[in-house]
Amino acid sequence: MGYYVEVEAGIRAFVEEVGTGRPVVFLHGWPQNHQLFEYQFNELPKHGFRCIGIDFRGFGKSDRPWHGYSYDRLADDVRVIVEALQLKNAALIGFSMGGAVAIRYMARYGGDRINQLLLLAAAAPSFTQREGFPYGMKKEEVNAIIDAAYKDRPNMANDFGRMFFASQISDSFRSWVNDQAFEASSQGTIKCAESLRDEDLRPDLAKIQVPTTIFHGALDRICPYALAMAMHEGIANSKLIRFERSGHGVFYDELAKFNQELLTSLNQVRYRIGNAGFVR
């Protein structure tokens, strides 16, 4: 079922739920929406999980305000939704930019209501190169993407999409992923690209105190594998799972392996805490 939650006065975020059981919150990447997790939503409810997909403001079916695209504000939106649903002992899954927002949520709110973090090809701890961090894109490269979004956003999305997967995918599937980018607002696309360029999550990593699993493709051309190693080093007791044949779209490039590893990680924490305390 789908519904809206008001995350700020006059601004609503779209949320879709599938299944019942332990809540699992999904945060999508730039510039897509929650539909990107279709092949996880098809699987997890079979195993007793309640999948909750959020469209960030400016993306998918959510409202499209002019403001509010910093990691802090996006994390605040997630917080409002988690509180509105009264979630407890939830797993938080963030892909790409969604992984960055998930990290900021954990640092900003002390992981309240969340007892497990899963980072998928996360755009963290910094999406761009900076002093002391020579990994990721150069800021000039992101500036070029932003400039292209101002001039020809559909072509920019197509070019970005060509870097997404390492496996052979159908033209129809690639079009489906690109169509999600086309659904996004231009303002949300541009302002979130600026956040990707400018935000630095390195100080946030040490604040994460829940079991954390990092899923990352060895062939990722958008968030290189060095980012995964930096997160693994910065997040205490985290686990890093390397997908040798995956690019940025780690959730699909090796779909069967990914879903199995995801279920294993989710079940390990679920079995540890039992079913007590799960509420809507």
Give catalytic residues, as residue numbers.
Answer: 96, 220, 248
Q: Yes or no: say if 208 and 236 are a contact pair by the CB < 8 Å rule.
A: yes
Task: Record the tokens describing residue 241, joined without a space.
Answer: 């799972």
Q: What CA–CA distance (Å, rounded) separates 269 from 188? A: 34
At residue 24, φ and ψ (nearest 5 deg) are: -130, 115
Q: What CA–CA distance (Å, rounded) separates 257 from 274? A: 25
Report the Cα 157 to chain-centroid distance in Å.
18
Q: Yes or no: say if 148 and 157 are a contact pair by the CB < 8 Å rule.
A: no
Sign, Cα dihedral of 252, 33, 241, 271: negative
**How many other C-beta atoms lie within 10 A of the C-beta of residue 266?**
21
What stretch of H or E contains 7?
A: strand 2-8
- Own/partner pairs, 196-199, CB within 8 angstroms, 24+ separation: 196/30, 196/97, 196/100, 196/123, 196/127, 196/128, 196/142, 197/127, 197/128, 197/139, 197/142, 197/143, 197/146, 198/128, 199/70, 199/71, 199/100, 199/104, 199/126, 199/127
Burial class (CB within 10 angstroms; exposed 0-12, middle 13-18, buried 19+) of 74: buried
Comparing C-alpha atoms, which of 21, 22, 53 is closest to residue 36?
53
